Chains A and B, each alone.
Chain A
Amino acid sequence: KAGVTQTPRYLIKTRGQQVTLSCSPISGHRSVSWYQQTPGQGLQFLFEYFSETQRNKGNFPGRFSGRQFSNSRSEMNVSTLELGDSALYLCASSLTGQEFREQFFGPGTRLTVL
């Protein structure tokens, strides 16, 4: 089985711009979660999608949003970028989202905001 893929791998944006990141989960996985990883805050949960519905959300401002398509692929959008949004954004998929179980992570998208 192919693993979780994320595109793009690297991205440079300027403050005020918006960005869309993409994640393709492992075939058959219906739950997709997004995380932000920074040296200061560590790995923080953004949100989780299951069957095209956002089921769980972390403590991030409304500038962070996402969606999931019928084929389970997911996108994450950050609007009005701030310097502090520079981070590694990780996507993870799992078979179900009923409880926190083994997750398969993608390689991440490294976002730099200038």
Chain B
Amino acid sequence: SQQGEEDPQALSIQEGENATMNCSYKTSINNLQWYRQNSGRGLVHLILIRSNEREKHSGRLRVTLDTSKKSSSLLITASRAADTASYFCATGASGGSYIPTFGRGTSLIVHP
């Protein structure tokens, strides 16, 4: 079963609005990453947050991590039509295990 699960499954907003996506996971992690995928193409790495970090920023992206709740959120501020894509969280389990698990993704549509 998928460890990371994004919520909501789909999100539709207007350009200029903020978009917030959430991710929950089940086991202890080393880090959590967010990726973006444009329709039918490869994934693009957005941001990595380590288990000992609580918040990270990159441009219009803000990621938070709450290890006590085993959850993370991705905030995209001032969204643009070009942000339309699917967003995935991915976790690497702690304890040296490499095997990454991806959630099913949030499909974001930004209307111009």
Q: List, in ascending order, chain A residues with CB within 8 A of B43's CB.
A: 43, 90, 92, 103, 105
Task: Mark out the residues of chain A between 41 and 96 whose CB falls within 8 Å of any chain B CB in the assembled complex.
Answer: 42-45, 48, 55-56, 58, 88, 90, 92
Residues of B in contact with A, size category: 20 to 34
**In the complex, which residues 11-50 of chain B have their Cβ closer than 8 Å to any Cβ of chain A?**
30-31, 33, 35, 40-45, 48
Distance between Cα atoms of A97 and B92 in the complex (Å) = 11
B33 contact set on A, CB distance < 8 A: 100, 102
Alpha-carbon gap, A108 to B93, bound state (A)? 25
- Interface contact A107-B48, CB-CB below 8 Å: no
CA distance A97 to B102 in the complex (A): 17
Chain A interfacial residues counted at CB < 8 A: 27
| A101 CB to nearest chain B CB (Å) | 7
B88 touches A43 (CB 8 A): yes
- Residues from chain B with Cβ under 8 Å of A42 in the complex: 2, 102-105
A45 close to B45 (CB less than 8 A) = no
In the complex, what's the smallest C-beta–C-beta distance from B93 to chain A, in angstroms? 8
> How far apart are A51's CB and chain B's nearest CB, in angstroms?
14
In the complex, are the beta carbons of A58 and B96 less than 8 A apart? Answer: no
Binary CB contact string for chain B from 87 to 100 against chain A (1 if under 8 A, 0 otherwise):
01011110011111
Instruction: Give the residue among B35, B43, B91 with the most A Cβ atoms within 10 A.
Output: B43
> Which B residues have a C-beta under 8 Å from some C-beta of A?
2, 30-31, 33, 35, 40-45, 48, 88, 90-93, 96-105
Q: What is A's interface to B at a CB cutoff of 8 Å? A: 4, 33, 35, 42-45, 48, 55-56, 58, 88, 90, 92, 97-108, 110
- Can you list 9 residue pairs at the A/B interface with Cβ under 8 Å? A4-B42, A42-B103, A43-B88, A44-B102, A56-B98, A56-B99, A90-B43, A97-B98, A100-B92
